[in-house]
Amino acid sequence: MFKAQWKYIQRLKSLPDNSWVLQSCQWVPTESRDGHAPKMPRRNAGHPQLRWDDNMNGFCKFHANCTWQSMPDAQFNASMKAYMDYCGMHEI
């Protein structure tokens, strides 16, 4: 799972900045609340509190003190093994 996530994020990093896919990855619903919504957005009970890129953001913050969006491509591409180790996984 983590290797597939790595490859997906690697593909996202190659997209232009104005790509809707990349922009949707950067959207934080709790920071851009719709004025018409009666409640603050949150996950319902029984759903994980982690988002799909929380592992990657934790790794990037630990490894390079940044997010995956702002990590330089060369450094990101060279860090796959370290990410697998960070997640407690080994490359297959």
Q: Please report the pLDDT score of residue 25 as a whole number.
A: 79
pTM: 0.66
Which helix (DSSP H) or strand (DSSP E) does residue 74 occupy?
Answer: helix 73-77
Q: Please report the pLDDT score of residue 36 as a whole number.
A: 67
pLDDT: which is higher, 5 or 89:
5
- Which of 56, 60, 73 has its CA nearest to residue 4? 56
Q: In angstroms, rounded to a whole number, what is the distance separating the alpha carbons of residues 7 and 77?
A: 10
What confidence tens digit (pLDDT) does each residue in 27-76 have? 766 666 666 666 666 667 777 777 777 888 888 888 888 888 888 888 88
Give residue limits of the domains in the chain: 1-12+54-92
- pLDDT surpassing 60 at residue 91: no
